[in-house]
Amino acid sequence: MSNPSLPDLILVMPIYNEEANITQVISEWLPVLSNLGIRYELFAINDGSKDRTLPILQSLACEHPGNIVVIDKPNSGHGRSCRAGYERALERSARWILQIDSDGQCDPSYFPSFWSQREEADCVFGFRSTRGDGLVRKLISRSCGVLSSLVSGVNVRDANVPYRLMRNEALAQALPRVPADFDVQNIALTVALKRCQGIRWRYVPIHFRDRQGGVNSINIRKIAKMGWKMLNELRRVQ
């Protein structure tokens, strides 16, 4: 029997300089979760934003007490912010952990399809069948998946997709396999989950929207540098 004092779902959302997006993103996600009758908490992880993101999050938390938890931390990058959220979610003992990004690219209209498959799966990941953020981003993600699969020896289809629903037990099994200082935590975690025995997988085709506003803080050169470092370090994932 589930504990009514614990959430069914924790949504982990790393956030950096998203004052242009964050109100709209959170506002479109909360009704979807509520309409499904889910006991949820949204962990809004402010990664040392330099704009008005933090006060906006604090205001939203006041408007939705008990549903939005603001976690303010020094800047350490997207991957390590995901890691911080995963660790806090496991400590909270939610049965399911959903990670999405904060720029509006993850369309909540797909989430009911994710949630409906939870009894038959331990990991329900999005697969970006179409994208609105340009050919270059598509090619980067495709290359990342192919190279990560070659280096790791496991099929990590759409390895860095930021739309992922994971059962608590699966995440608890895989996360310790990933070094805490690994920058690209999402890809490393996908590899670790694939290497765990007995985990059941489902994929949901999604359209990955273009950024809804603001400016992406990671440029192509930085992505390439991070990708090269990630491939060299991927061997450290157990």
The structure's pTM equals 0.89
Q: Where are the domains of the chain?
A: 9-236
Amino acid found at 206: I
Task: Retrieve residue 84's tokens.
Answer: 């911080």
Instruction: List CB contacts of 48: < 8 A, sequence separation 6 or more.
Output: 16, 73, 74, 75, 76
DSSP H helices, 117-198, are 135-152, 168-174, 185-195
Q: In the CATH scheme, what architecture does the domain 9-236 have? A: Alpha-Beta Complex (3.90)
What is the full per-residue pLDDT of the chain (238 aa) written as tens digits?
456 678 999 999 999 999 999 999 999 999 999 999 999 999 999 999 999 999 999 999 999 999 999 999 999 999 999 999 999 999 999 999 999 999 999 999 999 999 999 999 999 999 999 988 878 777 777 777 677 777 777 878 888 899 999 999 999 999 999 988 888 888 889 999 999 999 999 999 999 998 876 666 555 566 556 665 666 667 677 6
